[in-house]
Chains A and B, each alone.
Chain A
Amino acid sequence: MSRKPPVLPILLGVLAMVAVIVASFKFLTTFDDKMAFKSPVRSEASVEAAETPRSQALRESSELAAAKELEKPYEEAEYRAVPRIGSRVAIWIVAQLHLLFAAFVLAVPIFALIIEFIGYRTGDERYDKLAYEFTKLLSASFSFTATLGAGLTFMLIILYPKFTNYLMSVFSPTFLPYVLLFFAEAGFLYSYYYGWGKFSPRVHLFLGLMLNVVGTALMFIANAWLTFMSTPAGIAESGALISTWDAITNYTWMPINIHRIIANVAFGGSIAAAYAAFQFLQAKTDEERAHYDWMGYMGNFVAICGLLPLPFAGYWLASEIYAFSQTMGLTMMGGAFSWLFIIQAILIGNLFLFANWYLWLGMGRIKGAERYRSFIWPMLVVITICFAIWATPRSILSTTEEVQAMGGSSHPMLGYLGVMSAKNTAVNILILTTFLSFVLYRRSGKIPTVSWAKQANFVQFLIFAGAATTVIGYGIAGYFVDAKTRIGFSVPQVGSVLAALVLVTLIDVFLLRNAETAETNWGKIRPISQYLLIMLAVTFTWLMGLMGYVRAGLRQHWHVFGVIRDTSVDAFTPSLGFATKVVSFTVLVFFLLIGFIFYLTGLTNKKSYQAIKDLTPRDVPGEPQVTPGLSAASSGATAMNAASGMPAGASGYSAAGHDSNPTLKT
């Protein structure tokens, strides 16, 4: 029973408080007046009447200052400072946070649409629900992205007004389309999310497609602005605009577009997998664990699909930077920024190791995967060796004594592992090995029924062996040819790996058609696997932050490389230690924000306040009602529905005729 609040005492209390404040104020002003200086010579009246020379001078000087203020000409500020941290760090943090959220918001619709399409084609509702679960993360993320984008724009205008004005003059025709596209993006995103199950599947898929098209167009426009700053085109030496189109299609525009699309998919997949891991670790029931285990697996699968071609896109981007300016290329790979590439190598090596490790742990939930366990340690050895080669610096961080012993900053033997031939070979073999891990994972629990299975296996082995031989062969040959030929060798190396990826997948598709499939116990995976998914997401984010800094920092003391010089107090390249601290701080803030989004998204799965109130004590949440004998596998689509927070029948797809066995298949 609720009690009425005591109104009268509260009112009296408020009145007493106001009275005390007024009395205190009156007392203080009176006291201050009595203590004020009184001239012993003149009376107050005479002071007012006869102005002293000093007070006259003071009055005149203040009048003069006021008059000068009125005549002050308008001057446009070139820079404005942020106290303590400076403008550059402030812009850096906000821009990076905006880009991280934008990458996520652009990536999720890509794979959500693909997964939804798979669900539509196969009629399998689980895919539709999974796509919905991914899309749920978008709503809050989009708002965060927009807010951070607005913040970035305001900060650019406030802190770098002159430079921002210049960029606006070059790219003025792009701003209106950008705003319109952004508006369209909001429309498509919210209708895609809120319209789930409300439209016909085809209309809904169309909305998803348009969301992706518009999002990609937005990114392409924004990429033009930032790539122009590094590799300007379409302007005269003075900076005067010649052609906006040339300014857009500058050297690094298309490489960045491609690199970002792929990297966004990898990043978005890893964040979505981290969300699933976050939910898995909090799950109370086997059904929830099964659902989030599958979601984490799919997220990681998407991330690996993005990760595998990413180094190739990175090479293209780097070669375009080198082609634009030798100075910039050398600054990146051999100069001040080259040390960051050692950190990059370690982070990417970690990504590959964690991704493989997760797949190996995942084999534990598949019956019949035991036969592939003996492959794990050789693959681990290969990954370790490639990782070590990739992380070997050409110029080594060394003490004076070590430099003296080596006769320079390069080790006479290990130095050979620091050059391009070794690095290219290592990364290609890493990619091949990761792909092999995935192939074995996919094979776990499946027995092909086609008559040509043995021959197909042998051909697949030959393809792997051929690709590995090509990569290693060209890698060794690279030591004996000139630089141009050596760079050219990366084409057959990459080509053989890509060919192996495509051919082996094609054979697998036909080989495993109608294969005998063993049960996959989703949810029955060791918790360490979920921490690996979170580690993958953190590593991806950190890597994006670091590489983003390299891309922008390469301009050094230029706003627009070679054209508009940075004349602010921040016109110097910060130390690598400082840069990594800023990036790490940004990553931390990003995960705090994305953690909040995970929490918000998780709320949609929770029961309403009223429903909790109406529960009997026996049904209190946190006390899972697991029916004895009901396994994770036997709860089925109902569990998926409950876990995804999707209303029953919301998908709009017919599940008739499809596998209603609740056990999920790989």
Chain B
Amino acid sequence: MNWWVLIAFVAAMLVLRWRRVGILTWVAAWLVGLYLVLNYVFVVPVPVSVIKIYMGIVSLSLFAFVLTDSQRMTEFWQPIQAFVVEPRYRPLLALVALAIPALVAFRIYADMTATPQAPFFARTVHPAPPDSIIVHDSELALGTADNPYRDLETSNPEEFKERLEKGRAVYYLNCFYCHGDLMAGAGMYAHALNPIPTNFQDPGTIAMLREAFLYWRIAKGAPGMPEEGGPWQSAMPAWESFLTEEEMWNVILFLYDFTGYQPRAVELH
């Protein structure tokens, strides 16, 4: 985060408060300030769609803030009314009148000269799995399937440990090049991929999924992804061509063990 931008914003708002500026200035300062914060505080830029959502919410709230109190509303409109009506502001008013079409023209110019971008595609990161898949000639119902070795965690901890070790081997022989040694999606090949590989440490990924879902993603990879998941945007191989079923279940055990997350359980009615 760029802390200096944030500190500058807070300082500017405090100064405005201390100077007891009018309500119009206060509202304008909030809007401009927040826009700058959203654009420049985060090292990784915030997408325009989110900035629009946030600015819309804040504008609505500021609108509510002004209109809830009649005195505040009068204070808000007074400078605008004066600016439009009083003769002393006429030159400025003329400037504003010219600036509006100029801004529109500039916007059109900017849009026309913008670098062409690939068409937008709302990729679904966790697309819905099919009801069942066939891996190595055996059918698996994804809605009810669970890791066949998960029970060993309590029934036979020794064997579970062995399976974890086998899973570790599978991971470091096959997966870590992209998903990284810490499973944070930062492997040595990750920077060549777009989008980057999944970060398993993120609580929004494997922590909220069932093991059968992971099995589906590993076995079928990008080629087996439904349209909404944008299969052409993922470099994930279909690992069923290289790994046995047992190896895939073992590596899933290892993913959860390493990250410390528990898989989502199969819910019963």
Contact = CB atoms under 8 A, between A and B. Distances in A.
A350 interface: yes
Contacts of A392: 50, 53
Interface stretch (A162-170, A283-291, A322-330, A455-463): A322-330
Given A402-B48, A414-B50, A327 B142 contact: yes
Interface in B197-242: 198-199, 202-204, 207-210, 212-213, 228
A613 to B, nearest CB: 43
B69 to A, nearest CB: 7
A217 B210 CA distance: 38
Contact of A330 (B1, B48, B128, B199): B128
A13 interface: no
A324 B268 CA distance: 8
A378 to B, nearest CB: 11
Contact of B49 (A324, A350, A397): A397
A408 B117 CA distance: 17
A398 interface: yes
B119 to A, nearest CB: 9
Interface in A170-221: none
Contact of B195 (A323, A373, A387, A403): A403
Interface in B41-65: 42, 44-50, 53-54, 56-58, 60-61, 64-65
Nearest to B38: A414
Contacts of B70: 364, 526
Contacts of A373: 69
B4 interface: no
B64 A414 contact: no
Nearest to B54: A388
A479 B208 CA distance: 11
B100 interface: no
B195 A327 contact: no
A331 interface: yes
Interface stretch (A52-60, A80-88, A135-143, A353-361): A353-361
Contacts of A357: 64, 67-68
B194 interface: yes
Interface string B56-89: 1110110011011110000000000000000000
Contacts of B269: 251, 320, 323-324
Nearest to B196: A407
Nearest to B228: A336
A140 B245 CA distance: 64
B124 A327 contact: no
Interface string B3-46: 00000000000000000000000000000000000000010111
Given A327-B131, A384-B61, A482-B263, A410 B125 contact: yes
A126 to B, nearest CB: 28
B98 interface: no
B203 A409 contact: no
A349 interface: yes
Contacts of A409: 123, 125, 195
A421 B261 CA distance: 15
B264 interface: yes
B47 A482 contact: no
B125 A377 contact: no
A335 B64 contact: no
B61 A383 contact: yes
A21 interface: no
B267 interface: yes
Nearest to B123: A409
A420 B125 contact: no
Contacts of A335: 124, 126-128, 228
B152 interface: no
Contacts of A384: 57-58, 61
Nearest to B69: A373
B94 to A, nearest CB: 32
Contacts of B129: 326-327, 330
B140 to A, nearest CB: 12
Given A377-B65, A406-B44, A322 B263 contact: no
A642 interface: no
B130 interface: yes
B60 A411 contact: no
A326 B210 contact: yes
A31 to B, nearest CB: 61
A404 B193 CA distance: 9
Nearest to A397: B49
Interface string B236-267: 00000000000000000000000001111111
Given A377-B65, A387-B57, A392-B50, A323 B267 contact: yes
Interface in A360-380: 360-361, 364, 373, 376-377, 380
Contact of A408 (B118, B143, B196, B208): B196
Interface string A335-360: 11011001000100110010001001
Nearest to B262: A482
A390 to B, nearest CB: 10
Interface string B100-133: 0000000000000000011010111111111100
Interface in A456-482: 479, 481-482
A443 interface: no
B208 A483 contact: yes
B267 A322 contact: yes
A418 B53 CA distance: 14
Contacts of B65: 377, 380
Nearest to A576: B122
Nearest to A325: B143
A190 B131 CA distance: 49
A334 B126 contact: yes
Of A381, A387, A562, most B-chain CB atoms within 10 Å: A387
A612 B48 CA distance: 60
A559 to B, nearest CB: 16
Contact of B47 (A381, A396, A483, A485): A396
Interface string A511-529: 0000000000000001010
A401 interface: yes
Contacts of B263: 482-483
B47 A398 contact: yes
Given A406-B47, A414-B46, A419 B124 contact: no
Contacts of A350: 60
A399 B57 contact: no
Nearest to A399: B117
A361 B47 contact: no
B86 to A, nearest CB: 27
A647 interface: no
Contacts of A403: 194-195
A412 B195 CA distance: 13
B2 to A, nearest CB: 12
A618 interface: no
Nearest to B194: A404
A349 B56 CA distance: 12
A485 B130 CA distance: 26
B185 interface: yes
B238 to A, nearest CB: 20
Which of the listed residues B120, B128, B199 has the most CB atoms from chain A within 10 Å of its own CB? B128
Interface in A235-252: 251
Nearest to B124: A335
B125 A411 contact: no
A119 B218 CA distance: 65
Contact of B68 (A320, A334, A376): A376
A109 interface: no
A509 interface: no
13 contacts: A326-B210, A335-B124, A338-B124, A357-B64, A360-B68, A388-B53, A393-B49, A395-B122, A396-B49, A405-B45, A406-B45, A408-B185, A415-B202
Pairs of residues from A and B, 4 with the lowest C-beta to C-beta distance, nearest first: A482-B262, A334-B126, A331-B128, A483-B264
Given A335-B228, A395-B122, A397-B122, 7 more contacts: A319-B267, A326-B210, A327-B143, A334-B124, A335-B127, A384-B61, A483-B207
